[in-house]
Amino acid sequence: MFPDQSRKTQTTRYDVAEHLRSQEEMAAYLEACLEEAGDDAAFIAKALGDIARAKGMAQVTRDAG
């Protein structure tokens, strides 16, 4: 057994919606998802959900000043 094998890697959850701040970023994200998705409607639906959440977060930020 290797000495470091007993340690577990700590990870954090990544939410793309937290990183989509502008209309341009959202459009680029959607375009990339459409290219990647092919015929996968669930993939496209998830991307649209990410963008909707990002727009909601952006509105909260604007309202907070």
Specify whether the CB–CB gap between 50 and 29 falls below 8 A. yes
pLDDT band at 60 (very low <50, low <70, confident <90, very high): confident
pLDDT band at 35 (very low <50, low <70, confident <90, very high): very high
- Give the pLDDT of residue 30: 96
- Give the pLDDT of residue 4: 60
Specify whether the CB–CB gap between 55 and 16 falls below 8 A. no
Alpha helices in 1-65, H assignment, sequence order: 23-37, 41-64
| Token pair for 33 | 């998802």
User: Residue written as tokens 């341009």?
Assistant: 24
Give one word for 64, left, alpha or beta, with left for phi > 0 and alpha for psi -120 to 50: alpha
